[in-house]
Amino acid sequence: MTSTSSDRRETGRTDAEQVGGRVVPMRLQKFLARAGAASRRGSEDLMTAGRVRVNGVVVTELGAKVDPASDHVTLDGIEVAIADQPVYLAFHKPAGVVTTMSDPQGRPTVASFVPVKEHPGLFPVGRLDYDTTGLLLFTTDGEISHRLLHPSRHVEKVYRALIDGRASEAELDRLRDGVALDDGRTAPARVKSLRSSGTTTYVEIALREGRKRQVRRMFSKIGHPVLELHRVSFGPVTVEGLSRGSWRHLTDDEVAALREAVDMMAEEVR
């Protein structure tokens, strides 16, 4: 493990870069995020909890650095390493599946659908509720996951919902303006009614926030509980063409577009 200050003097870099074909020392929390162990903040929590060892020694100092070429890093005794290339997947989540890599209650998890053996650091970007279907992104790149989910950089996510009752435009306008929930007022949402049939309405809603069960709570607030919920897209990536329970690799263009969307959101809030 390297010192926390010498790298700045020796290389002029404060974190890992590709130099001469190899990765030079980086902060341990960034290494963990790049390896897919957690987000950058989550990696810091793992360190302070004493769960991370470098060359057999517990490391809790957040300024500590490691050399990926020579240091041996473990999380809860399991080796952690940075893959040659990060992996990015799109998955069509079925209903009745929890968005977690393991479940103490024995319920079906998303981990059983994606190639975790081939990509041990794979984890979901955010989550979908147990009964919600649709697009869920997976990656081994903890850094982009952190950026995609950061409150200041949330990219747009589009959902389609079947709601109880016939929703009027006046009621949908409340969502377009933002509604007060128990954890604060929501940001304005893009909402449109697609069709009404009998006692239900089929709607599309686009959000840039990511609160827990937010879509369901918003429609309940205006008196139209969600009966079915499906996520259509996450930023530039869509679920189109994926059957439920299946996954695919993102294209290079999709990964580039995700990064661009994150950077664009960061610029908008400055």
Catalytic residues: 129
Helical pair 252-268 and 142-149, crossing angle rounded to 10 deg: 40
Task: Answer yes or no: are the C-beta atoms of 206 and 150 closer than 8 Å.
Answer: no
Q: What is the Cα–Cα distance from 210 to 154, expressed in whole angstroms?
A: 7
Q: What is the Cα–Cα distance from 128 to 69, expressed in whole angstroms?
A: 36
* DSSP string of 178-233, one letter each residue: --EETTEEPPP-EEEEEEEETTEEEEEEEES---TTHHHHHHHHTT--EEEEEEEE
Q: What is the Cα–Cα distance from 61 to 44, expressed in whole angstroms?
A: 9
The count of residues in the chain is: 270
Helical pair 40-48 and 142-149, crossing angle rounded to 10 deg: 110
Q: What is the Cα–Cα distance from 133 to 119, expressed in whole angstroms?
A: 23
